[in-house]
Amino acid sequence: MRIAVLNGPNLNLLGMREPELYGSERLEDLERAVRHRATELGAEIRWSQTNHEGEFVDLVQGLPGTVDGALVNAAAFTHTSLAVRDAFLAVSVPFVEVHLTNIFAREEERRRSLLADLAVGIVAGFGAQSYLLGLDALVGFLTRRAS
């Protein structure tokens, strides 16, 4: 099973960026933990991060036929990008939306996700653990769907 992990803007700064909110782990640490869990689950990870909206759209457009599902932290694009929403609508690849923080407990403009209703489900608020929980849930979903 192949899973893409798509990380949006500023997630490359994890560890340095607002550590009181996002923790002290770097994106590489997160990637290592996700790859480790994926190996246990028998899944293969395609990891990417971009700060650019068009590139994020390209990554979404590239999902069909290359992966079975995706774990998506679109970061600020979650709340702002109709282009990213349209890309997910176009590809119909199952994805789980993940956030390090609980976006529903934050500022008003972060409480709305333009992707949530398209996702299989959402995991938010557990720091790095959100990615691992999301991965478990996505692999479970894809496995059940295949049988």
Catalytically annotated residue among 36, 52, 79, 99: 99
Q: Which one, 67 or 131, has the nearer CB to ligand DQA?
A: 131
The first and second tokens of residue 6, run together, are 């798509």
CA dist 95 and 139 (Å) reads: 10
Count of residues touching ligand DQA (by CB under 6 A): 10
The answer to whether 80 contacts ligand DQA (rule: CB under 6 A) is: no
The answer to whether 76 contacts ligand DQA (rule: CB under 6 A) is: yes
**Is 124 in contact with 86 (CB distance < 8 Å)?**
no
Only one of the segments 31-39, 46-54, 82-90, 97-105 lies at the binding site for ligand DQA (rule: CB under 6 A); that segment is 97-105
Reply yes or no on whether 22 is catalytic. Answer: yes
Terminal alpha carbon distance of the chain: 13
The answer to whether 85 contacts ligand DQA (rule: CB under 6 A) is: no
Show the DSSP H helices in 7-102 as ranges: 19-22, 27-41, 53-61, 77-80, 82-91
Residues in 22-61 that interact with ligand DQA by CB under 6 A: none
Q: Which one, 66 or 129, has the nearer CB to ligand DQA?
A: 129
Q: How far is the CB of 110 from ligand DQA (least distance, A)?
A: 4
Using Cβ positions, the residue closest to ligand DQA within the complex turns out to be 75
- CA dihedral for 138, 139, 140, 146, sign (positive or negative): positive
CA atoms lying within 13 Å on the CB side of residue 50? 15
SS3 85: helix
The answer to whether 12 contacts ligand DQA (rule: CB under 6 A) is: no
For the annotated catalytic residues, the residue numbers are 22, 99
List interacting residues with ligand DQA (CB under 6 A).
10, 73, 75-76, 78, 99-101, 103, 110
